[in-house]
Structure 1
Amino acid sequence: MVRRLLQPGEHVLHVVYAQQAPPLLHCIGLGHFVYAYHQVILVITDQRIIEALLNFRASGAGTRLRSYPYRHLSGLRLSLGKLTAVPAQGRKQGWRLRTRGDKKLLNLLLPRVQTRLLAEGAARAEALPLWHCPRCGAGVPPAPEACSACRTRFRSTRLATVLSLAFPGAGLFYLGYPFLAAHDFLIESMVFVIWLALITGSSETDGIAPALLLGGLFLLLTKIESIHLGRVVGARSIPEPEGRRELAGRLAIAGGVLSALLVVGAFPLAAAVRPRLERDLDVSTVDGAWSGSRRAADWAFSKDDPAARSQWTHARSGARLTVFAHPQSLLHDQEEFHRDYSAEMKQKVVRTLVDDEQIPAPFHGFRYVGEMRSKTGQEVALVSYFLYDQDGHDIHQVSLAVPREDAEAGEALVQDFLHHARFIEAIAPQR
């Protein structure tokens, strides 16, 4: 490939294996693999430096071919193992030399080469680097679309961008980087699954808007990075086989339709299975033994608890009982909630008195009675009955706090409440 560039009378002085010093954005896009994708062979001649990109394994030539004629360079130096070319026009370019012998030999060659810098003057210097077609060696513009000399068409970064937007990894696969394409597909798929999990796990009080915004931001960042990575590795004059671009265009349409169908189908499903309270507990008594309110301003406590649904007062004893609701998604297990709640109570230094599944019929669930100390030092019994709503897949909690010596009386009140309780359609409390 380099032989096509050599002119009559041009002599090769040395060939060096090196690594192009990548720009910062290339490092961000390629991460750990940035140096593997910037391996080059530098052919030092008596007229210029020819840079030939190597493949990922450095086992053969890549596709990008560039040159730095000495007559257009204002500086060429070797320092700390880095060869730096400073064009009179354009950005300077650096290469890291990998072997000690190459460094010593270049130190001897540079004084001879530096006498040829800007031989025609700075006014006639061209912008560097000069790009060349890997097929015929003719000059082409930077990041070319085609070679006007041999009619070779190169893979389009614009089409790669469209493919990346249409389907994860498709743009990189079109450019000829299956490993990067698979990596991009896995990353975007993982972000999409996390996005769905955020929507599914969003609470009823917060809604799905925060999850939509956060997941959408993450997915947008991955798409931007995928497009950027395609532009980095795509601007390497990669020849395109005949008919490949037309096929890629049809695949872009098919991938876009498939992605749209996945989004259209996945988001309604995720929104449907997210925790959403469908029913509430209500009590009706003939003798008016229990009176309740769903207005937070009427409650004596738990006014700011988003899980609180209503508060009820026993007419004869004056005891206040609070009803909470814990919406569960289809992915949650009610028995797991029982285990987690018991573990949480132990962490809060609550001594367990009762923890079983003896719940008054027709309800099912578990009861938990724990002993704890109030801020005043008084021993308090926290009586909580948890009811499983089998139809709504939710958990309703009926709680009452009484002095430790009145724990049995407190349980009797809760059981009396449940004797008159029934499920109704969910009624949002007034806050």
Structure 2
Amino acid sequence: MKKRAAEVLTDLAESSNLAAHSSSELAGDVSAAARDDDKQRKEKELDQLRRKSRLQALPAKDLSRVGQLTPWEVLHTFGRSISLARRGAGRGLAEHWGCLKYNQALSGSSNFFMTLSAEGRETAEHYKALQSGELGTGFALALAERLLKRRYPDHFVSIVPADTTMRAGWALTSRDSGPKSGYRYRPHFLAEVWKPGEPSRVFPIASKGNHSGPSASHNQLASASAHVEALHIGEWGQTPCLVFSTELPLDGPLTVHALEAQGSSGWLDAPARVFDHALEDENIYPGIQPPTQGDSPSELEPGYHVKPELYAWFQHALARTAAASLTAFAGDDRATAPYLTKRQGQRHFTGLTHAATDSVQDARHKLLGIDFVGTDHVFRLNRKRVEAFSGVAKDLFHHLEEGRVDQYRRETYARRSTWPSDTWDSRWNGPVSVHPDGSVLAIRLLPRSR
């Protein structure tokens, strides 16, 4: 029997424990899975993968303080991550609303670990790869953000899609202009840990998910190790990273399996640019430069290398892409286009869209005492009409729509610990999730129409 829509909304605001697993045994199992995959690739005469070495467990003290989160917070995290998923090619359908298809997929309470709901289990029978991958992204990025915040308490953490960011410098596919890489392995996301006026640090992230079990997660983490190894920032082999595989069993708690690689690089230590200035596409020759062996330089390895002379540009690309992701989440095409380069998909945010599919920034709501502007979406949930709203704090959005990225970052950094943590707004009468970047996702039942 399906739950009433009001019960579904109540469940979305219910906090649950998140099961996170990281251990030396897990690292060993992933190494074994990587060796098995390498052996199979060799037998099939496939190219051998270069993987991130020295994957290790996250410290137990970090995982013990992960805390609780609500299903709505997970969907907010996922929705923010896909607002530029296709570089705006599907903006008329508001790409980030794709998170709403999972509003009945998760279940839990403060005394239990989060699990799949009855509907989530039913969906898994037909759309296993899609559901596990997308929900896995939400859980992985929520966990990554919390881990990095605890490690860098006086910094801000921004997470952006790697493909969109990297396209400003490299031709990632045959359709992109510039020198082609021909290499399909890349991180899925980039976490930038930053503080105004100081060097930031970047962590490549790879995230996968499955409905199968621990052995599937071992294989996924082995694959993820190749994705994060494809991007080097600074010195060879010293870029820190995070890899995740979220196990969503049909019975039992959701479990995020996580490993990391440490390193001394990842710092973008260069004179800061003015982020308000537009970013232009670069044509960086693909390949990673290994350390020189003897008198002659080593051959380039497949992948992407952010060398010291590119630090300032890369930091600029990260800041502009993060801004575009926020304005797209708020439904403002006109504000989004200037933040993207041609190769990043700027054209998708200009021109006409098909009738009845446009996403427009024209909604305003006060939630948890804060004024937000953004876009809304009305649909039916178990026969009842509901309204979802996504947006950005009004004052911060004003900076973004006027192109003041530096001002936005200064104010967001100053307010990083002041945002409300409530999960329900009684005046709005529905679940609300507010992130430190100033974004919000809210949902409520609409009054019955005549």
- What TM bracket, shorter-length normalisation? under 0.3
In terms of fraction of residues, the more strand-rich structure is 1
Query: TM-score w.r.t. structure 1 length?
Result: 0.21
Report the structure number with the largest CA radius of gyration: 1
